[in-house]
Amino acid sequence: MDLDEKLKLVMKPPTEEVVTAEELRQLFETVSRPGHYIGFEISGLLHLGSLVVAGFKLRDLNGAGVRTRVFLADWHSVINEKLGGNWERIRAAADYYREAFHEFCPGTEFVLGSDLYHCNDEYWKDMIRFSKHVSFKRASRTLSIMGRTMKEALDIASYLYPSMQGVDIHHLGADIAHAGMDQRKVHMLAREVYPKIGWKPPIALHHHLLLGLQGPSRAGLEEDEKADMAIGSKMSKSKPWTCIFIHDDLSTIGKKLEKAWCPEGETEFNPVLELVKYIVFHEFKEFRVERPARYGGEVAFATYEELEKAYAAKTVHPMDLKAATARYIDGIVGSLRAKFESRRQRLEELMRE
């Protein structure tokens, strides 16, 4: 694969931003197998946003010859009080995350936070060095990466979180720091601090945050309205009725989509259209909508742009869009669902907050 093909693969959707594209080009020109990292708090059942969208980008990176690593952030999960801050539950859940990502993204490596930090004096020295360049105010502004705001009464451990995440990148040997757009602030912090302590800044790669099915709402975490809307509206396991899990069967997917926010003719912040754009068209070359002849008959779209234009013109009805989307999504998650079917009840009990 030549350089331009690698860059095209890394930059394709669901990639939303690379900081910077020129640095990415230089990386591929000088390093045969660049290092990568994406970190996950261990906090619940995996869904289309957390596994499938992120997993698509991991597959793209693997295809471009990048050494991808998923960081299973158990310490960060405890700090952010996921799964009640219970170490045993978090580590058991980490095994599930590892197995699911391994199934969906073959070739990706895994590192548990506890393994990275254990007997690692250099890590903790570097965490102090990094933190010496981060003011309390700067750390506070970065807390949106945890889904927290400066208005909340937080413990001191929460203010360690941004520095730990910043230093994780270096100690995992990552040339590329990868996450959803909601983690942008900590990547920009790392790029700001690294030169001050003699480290090369990582390239920041951010993928799209998949919308939840509930419709647009603000999070109150960002000043920019559109950025805050994207975070506030993202698919979240804490709102299971707005979330499609990898364990949902066709009937469940269909029922959730039936209730999804999808006004006729509305294309902005439309979660059903987003599923087609970022998931269906990532895997398929066309999108077929089946409907009775009296309603126009079956229609196929070769690109997302064609579908969006038709939907805006109200020539595709929301219910027909939802039914077609459900069938495609079921086909994509089917093998994952089957893998965990016998353990679903135990997983749900383990993940209960």
- Mean pLDDT across the stretch 130-159? 80
What does the pLDDT look like over 146-183, one tens digit per residue? 565 556 668 899 999 999 999 999 999 999 999 999 99
- Mean pLDDT across the stretch 108-132? 98
Higher-confidence position of 220 and 33 = 33
pLDDT score at 9: 96
In the chain, pLDDT over 70 holds for what percent of residues? 95
Q: What are the E-state strand segments in the chain?
A: 15-19, 36-41, 69-73, 109-112, 176-180, 203-207, 287-289, 299-301
CA–CA gap between residue 186 and residue 182 (Å, rounded):
9
What distances in angstroms separate CA 330 from CA 35, 53, 259, one per listed residue? 33, 15, 17
Query: Where is average pLDDT lowest: 33-42, 118-127, 144-153, 242-251?
Result: 144-153
- Average pLDDT over the chain reads 93
pLDDT score at 146: 59
What does the pLDDT look like over 188-237, one tens digit per residue? 999 999 999 999 999 999 999 999 999 887 766 666 677 777 777 889 88
* Domains of the chain in sequence order: 3-207 (3.40.50.620), 236-351 (1.10.240.10)
- Mean pLDDT across the stretch 17-30? 98
- Res. 27: pLDDT tops 70: yes
Higher-confidence position of 148 and 252 = 252
pLDDT score at 149: 56
Instruction: Tell me the residue type at 241.
Output: W
Q: Which two tokens stand for residue 248?
A: 């949902």
What distances in angstroms separate CA 271 from CA 55, 210, 216, 231, 256, one per listed residue? 19, 8, 9, 13, 12
pLDDT score at 116: 98
- Res. 41: pLDDT tops 70: yes
DSSP annotation of 151? T
CA–CA gap between residue 206 and residue 190 (Å, rounded):
14
What does the pLDDT look like over 86-116, one tens digit per residue? 999 999 999 999 999 999 999 999 999 999 9
Q: Which long-range contacts (CB under 8 A, 24 or more apart) does 232-235 make?
A: 233/269, 233/271, 234/49, 234/180, 234/182, 234/209, 234/210, 235/47, 235/48, 235/49, 235/50, 235/209, 235/210, 235/211, 235/271
- Res. 44: pLDDT tops 80: yes
- Mean pLDDT across the stretch 120-128? 98
In the chain, pLDDT over 90 holds for what percent of residues? 80
